[in-house]
Amino acid sequence: MALSKILNASVTNSTLTTTKLATPNLGRRNVLINGGMNVSQRNGTTLTATANNSLFLDRWKCYLNGPSSISTQQMLPLDSNVTALNTASGENYNNIMYIDCTTASAIQSSDLLGVIQLIEGSNSVPLAGQSCTLSFWVKSSVTGQYYVTFKIASARSYIAPYTISSANTWEKKTITITMDTLASLNTNGDTGNGAGFQVYFGLRLGSSAQATSTVNQWVDGNFYGTLSQVTWGTNVSDTFYIGAVQLELGTAASPFEHRSFGEELALCQRYYYHTYSYGSPAGTTFNQDYESPIIIIGTGNHGMGVCNAVYPVEMRVAPTISFYGSDGTANRIRHWGGSLAAYGTVNRSTRQILGMSFNAGTDPEDFYSAALVCDAEL
């Protein structure tokens, strides 16, 4: 058959018919970073006592106000809780987040406990005004009604309830909402490199904390749940596990997007980066002779130092810089002769450290070493 006849059979009057795909955003679907709980630059897999407003797994921050205390941990592929998730889901997951109650207490009126991810404004813009679906796997020793709260700063909130029906059993949850408008995001949050939408998983909420009785709609105000929220943390045996958290465009949950570890790590390093070995917390000691992560070279009598620090990725903003001496001392650099020294202003950009000033008494003509921590978290 002639090529012209084949073309004529496919195209009539030079008009092409296009079909809109039922599932939007078939590329990188998951707007959340580290939803698979695979990256833990700060703590590795260590069970860590968690303080308010701290990050334990990358991009996941803890809100903790109240007498109860918790520890958090990244669970590994061969852990029985991970293998149980793989059996329940029919997929293979590497990691999950584990939250454990270490000090139990009765609920207090001001209590607030949960984990939250803040989404950068530029990544929030495509979601604004659109139908979006949050999906995740969850398991807890405490059954009952929980809440996911979608927020824009402290100005707008959307409380979405879900129920854990069976204790210590993996369950998949799916929540579909229409995200707040682009105008609201621009007015109340950020559409650039600041905080846009936020996703909060609540575990505990006191009577005088930020509660509302309105659910499943956007409301003005800074809310985290309703008073019908379960009270997690009244027993030391209380546990909470979560994994495969995905937020995407559309009205249906697609299979969890498994990104490579290298890609997920790079996404996380836009917000936090250190030169320690992966999983080592800031302040870890190192051998100055052969483990020096950063070398600082004095430039003579100008009182300035040259630092060989180029970040692996473009950071969200010029980060807060902290140097640590080889013995773990914060805000110090170590002279190659062994003594610790203070430093002055660090000149940095979103891409690298450009230089630094030396304090009085610091030899400007010698070599120094330090570990570097760069923090550009939302």
* CATH number (domain holding residue 211): 2.60.120.260
pLDDT, residue 289, reads 73
Are both 177 and 257 inside the same structural domain?
A: yes
Q: Please give the helix or strand (H or E) that residue 188 lies within, else none.
A: helix 182-188
Is residue 11 one of the residues assigned to a domain? Answer: no
Are both 315 and 210 inside the same structural domain?
A: no
Are both 209 and 355 inside the same structural domain?
A: no
Are both 84 and 184 inside the same structural domain?
A: yes
∠ Cα 273 274 276 (to 5°)? 150
Q: Please give the helix or strand (H or E) that residue 369 lies within, else none.
A: strand 367-375
* Residue 1: DSSP 8-state: -
Using left for φ > 0, alpha for ψ between -120 and 50, and beta otherwise, residue 221 falls in left
Strand order of the sheet with strand 48-50?
48-50, 69-75, 96-103, 239-249, 131-140, 171-178
Is residue 318 one of the residues assigned to a domain? Answer: yes
pLDDT, residue 299, reads 62
Is residue 17 one of the residues assigned to a domain? Answer: no
Are both 224 and 327 inside the same structural domain?
A: no
Is residue 285 one of the residues assigned to a domain? Answer: no
3-class secondary-structure state, position 205: strand
pLDDT, residue 11, reads 35
pLDDT, residue 304, reads 66
d(CA 127, CA 181): 9
Are both 252 and 339 inside the same structural domain?
A: no
User: What domain range includes position 175?
Assistant: 48-269
Are both 264 and 306 inside the same structural domain?
A: no
Is residue 81 one of the residues assigned to a domain? Answer: yes
d(CA 57, CA 71): 12
Are both 205 and 331 inside the same structural domain?
A: no
Is residue 284 one of the residues assigned to a domain? Answer: no
Is residue 31 one of the residues assigned to a domain? Answer: no
3-class secondary-structure state, position 161: strand
Give me the sign of the Cα torsion angle 50, 55, 57, 62: positive
CA-nearest of 84, 112, 87, 221 to 158 is 221
Are both 341 and 264 inside the same structural domain?
A: no
Structure tokens at 235: 């027993």
Are both 84 and 215 inside the same structural domain?
A: yes
pTM higher than 0.85:
yes
Are both 69 and 147 inside the same structural domain?
A: yes
Backbone angles phi, psi at 89, to 5 degrees: -90, -25
Tally of structural domains, the chain: 2
pLDDT, residue 274, reads 96
What parts of the chain have a pLDDT lower than 50? Answer: 1-25
**Residue 170: count of CB within 10 angstroms of its CB:** 18
Are both 109 and 142 inside the same structural domain?
A: yes
What are the tens digits of pLDDT across the range 26-81? 568 999 999 999 999 998 888 788 888 889 899 999 999 887 789 999 999 889 99
Is residue 340 one of the residues assigned to a domain? Answer: yes
pLDDT, residue 245, reads 98
